[in-house]
């Protein structure tokens, strides 16, 4: 029986590596896995629809639903999750010692719809008393001055009325402005170079590990960063691809879990991280054996929360039920 040849653009994760290595073969699909860095994948897929299947930022996918004819269909597979308290950077002389001190400050974000920034803004608003309209946001490149014009063209800055937002001056970067005190904080998935070189920048939550564990215990939210999308023309031609891909990603994730956790139990250092088994045990003690579930049901609250944050911030035009943003073949997962 012939198989459909499809290309997947996705970074190399432990949970997707079995697909890249061919240990897992999606039923009915001959998969060409392109291991591209995430920003390249997002840009090429959103602008040019270059791949049949790709990893995509959650915020970018939701924004695409504003189109009269949305170009992508998602499946509830989440190759990247990350807590984001660690991603709030402040100038040491800004007078910010507590999250509430952010009110009235100047805050940089690389993109208004960057998934990490959406999560941070939402969490600060809901749990730390920092309303969306209590700060002035500066949107522009974190590091590369040459991309500022491109950013201005592609990020349309759809925001709710009352939220104060400014463009970065041409030639400026958030990292250098934070270092010089021209802005007070930055919300960014990528750490600013000014933080990495140990200058005038530090994390707001310096004990972010403990803070993030406490947040998870309280909310049961493990923020989803990226999802998997299928180009709509492919989905409409081969609707069965959605569920078969979902099953393959699930199988690959289970293989990765067993290789990392079980091999570590046998006294073999499978990864560089010396306490990886302990990290697994911490997460399992909090959330059970499957602390990185795929599917809608087990991630319902997290998905619903991100949709709400995106709506509150003006990223999307309406509220969605979590099930309706995924292929119908996977809505019962």
pLDDT digits (tens, 9 = 90+) for 45-76: 999 999 999 999 999 999 999 999 999 999 99
Q: Is the pLDDT of residue 238 over 90?
A: yes
The closest of 82, 127, 135, 79 to 109, measured between CA atoms, is: 135
Arithmetic mean of pLDDT over the chain: 92
The closest of 98, 97, 101, 61 to 77, measured between CA atoms, is: 61
Q: In the prediction, which pLDDT does 150 show?
A: 43
* Domains, the chain: 4-81+224-330 (3.40.190.10), 85-219 (3.40.190.10)
- 308-324 core/surface letters (b: 16 or more CB in 10 A; e: else): ebbbbbbbbeeebebbe
Residue whose entry in the numeric block shows the structure tokens 């590091």: 143
Residue 258 to residue 277: CA distance in whole angstroms = 11
Tell me the CB-side half-sphere exposure of residue 53, using CA atoms within 13 A: 28
Q: In the prediction, which pLDDT does 283 show?
A: 85
Within the chain, residue ranges assigned H as helices are 17-20, 38-48, 58-64, 115-127, 148-154, 174-180, 193-196, 208-219, 232-237, 241-257, 263-265, 276-287, 300-312
pTM: 0.93
Q: Are 45 and 56 in contact (CB under 8 A)?
A: yes
Q: Is the pLDDT of residue 158 over 70?
A: no
The closest of 208, 196, 226 to 114, measured between CA atoms, is: 226
Q: Is the pLDDT of residue 1 over 80?
A: no
Q: In the prediction, which pLDDT does 144 show?
A: 84
pLDDT band for position 263 (50/70/90)? low
User: What tens digit of pLDDT does each residue of 81-128 get?
Assistant: 999 999 999 999 999 999 999 999 999 999 999 999 999 999 999 999
Q: Going by DSSP bridges, is the β-strand pair 53-57/224-231 parallel, antiparallel, or unpaired?
A: antiparallel
Which of the two residues, 206 and 287, has the higher pLDDT score?
Answer: 206
Identify the three-state secondary structure at position 277.
Answer: helix
Q: In the prediction, which pLDDT does 148 show?
A: 45
């Amino acid at each position: 029986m012939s198989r459909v040849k499809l290309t997947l653009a996705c970074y190399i994760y432990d949970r997707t590596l079995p697909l890249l290595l061919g240990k897992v073969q999606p039923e009915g699909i001959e998969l060409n896995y392109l291991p591209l860095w995430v920003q390249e994948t997002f840009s090429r897929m959103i602008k040019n629809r270059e791949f049949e299947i790709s990893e995509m930022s959650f915020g970018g996918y939701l924004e695409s639903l504003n189109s009269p004819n949305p170009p992508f269909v998602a499946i509830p597979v989440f190759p990247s999750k990350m807590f984001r308290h660690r991603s709030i950077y402040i100038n040491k002389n800004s007078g910010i010692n507590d999250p509430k001190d952010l009110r009235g400050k100047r805050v940089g974000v690389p993109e208004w719809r960057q998934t990490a920034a959406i999560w941070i803004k939402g969490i600060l608003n809901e749990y730390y008393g920092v309303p969306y309209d209590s700060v002035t946001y500066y949107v522009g490149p974190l590091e590369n001055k040459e991309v500022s014009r491109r950013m201005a063209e592609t990020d349309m800055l759809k925001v709710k009325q009352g939220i104060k937002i400014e463009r970065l001056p041409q030639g400026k970067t958030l990292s250098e402005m934070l270092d010089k005190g021209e802005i007070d904080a930055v919300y960014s998935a990528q750490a600013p170079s000014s933080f990495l070189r140990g200058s005038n920048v530090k994390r707001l939550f310096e004990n972010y590990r403990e803070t993030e564990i406490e947040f998870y215990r309280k909310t049961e939210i493990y923020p989803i960063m990226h999802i998997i999308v299928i180009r709509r023309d492919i989905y409409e031609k081969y609707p069965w691809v959605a569920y078969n891909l979902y099953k393959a990603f699930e199988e690959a994730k289970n293989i990765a879990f067993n290789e990392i956790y079980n091999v570590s139990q046998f006294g073999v250092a499978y990864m560089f991280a010396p306490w990886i088994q302990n990290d697994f045990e911490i997460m399992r003690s909090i959330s059970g054996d499957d602390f990185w579930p795929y599917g809608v049901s087990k991630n319902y609250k997290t998905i619903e929360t991100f949709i709400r944050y995106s709506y509150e911030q003006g990223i999307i035009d309406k509220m969605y039920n979590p099930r309706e943003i995924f292929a119908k073949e996977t809505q019962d997962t």
